[in-house]
Copies of this chain bind each other. A is one copy, B any other.
């Protein structure tokens, strides 16, 4: 099992990626392919040595900056760590790819350098939602698909359900449609048209609508919406950590809104595991991303997604 890591991505590259790799290697078993500026990585490695059998270094002379235009940068910087990372993944030199770099470039690479799983209309990105009773929910889409059709949401429900089951370890995950009323027939046109599809979907355990007030409560495990709504919920939730932190409101619950700890978000619906981290990712986040990639490979989540979407 080989996991590619963009060593140049994120605000603290390559140091924090390396810190995460150190933490990962205490338990992890994948061979790591470190992609980035050889000289810079070696300079860091001279201070923080890694067991040589644990990694391979792949030189990438270019970097895509955080503010570059994704499509343009990926096209023009074929020798960038992100472009090479996708190339290695597409040509089966690696089994997964992780980066805390330019999010747009990671999404463009996921959609175009790799292929969507056959039958998947729209790949999606999700986020963990900390439930107030200590459990964990999954929210999707959180921004890859800002305009959606009912059949897209119906597939997000399937993909989220597979992910919740195999990665989050939730049996028979309860799937809900995010809406502005409890009963069938409520909501905007999209929600009204999506409800019957979810209700008839044999691949999921659909429990109906959830409202804004239910998102942080343990009503549903997988919560489905369009990427516009989901992104606003995600960023509002993220802001709770910062606001409570700034106000010195200390509570274990709000600590769980520190999304950095979760590592990153996988792109679901594409042929290989790709994990996108926050630009501010530190060692712990990198470690969690590598562990997540390992788990996705071990559980063969992409194949399981394929089987559910096709069936």
- Interface residues of chain A, those whose CB is within 8 Å of chain B, are 132, 143, 146-147, 178, 180, 187-189, 191, 211-217, 226-229, 231-240, 242-243, 246-247, 249, 251, 253-254
Copies in the complex: 2
A178 — which chain B residues lie within 8 A by C-beta?
232
26 residue pairs bridging A and B, Cβ less than 8 Å apart:
A143-B180, A146-B187, A146-B191, A147-B189, A178-B232, A180-B227, A180-B228, A180-B231, A187-B228, A188-B228, A191-B228, A211-B232, A211-B235, A212-B231, A212-B232, A212-B234, A212-B237, A212-B238, A215-B239, A217-B243, A243-B253, A247-B251, A249-B249, A249-B251, A249-B253, A249-B254
Q: Which residues does chain B contribute within 8 Å of A187, judged by CB atoms?
A: 146, 228
Main secondary structure on A side of the interface with B: helix
Q: Tell which of B143, B191, B212, B254 touches A239, judged by Cβ atoms closer than 8 Å.
A: B212
Q: Tell me the bound Cα distance from A232 to B228 in angstroms.
A: 12
Give complex CA distance A240, B237 in Å: 11
A146-B187, A188-B226 are contacts. A236–B249 as well, Cβ < 8 Å? no
A89 CB → nearest B CB, Å = 27
Residues of B within 8 A of A234 (CB): 212
